Amino acid sequence: MNQVIEKLFVTIITLKIFNFTKSRIERFYCFFNFISLRLEDEKRVEMEMLEEIRRLERERKEAEARI
């Protein structure tokens, strides 16, 4: 995630050098922020799925132990 933030700052500096207007930079930042949030959501969902898989594995082992 830190690399993504670094790339954002480099890009914003580049946009400033090439005289992009403030509104364009703000739109770019909003879009970038949206993409970052989507990536965080995907990671959160992936972690939840892994937790569910672990829980099911634990339940399966407990059920096998009872048999």
State pLDDT tens for residues 10-57: 777 777 776 666 677 677 777 877 888 888 888 888 899 999 999 999
Q: In the predicted model, is pLDDT for residue 3 greater than 80?
A: no
Asked if 26 and 50 touch (Cβ cutoff 8 Å), the reply is no
- The whole-number pLDDT of residue 31 equals 80
Residue 52 structure tokens: 């569910």
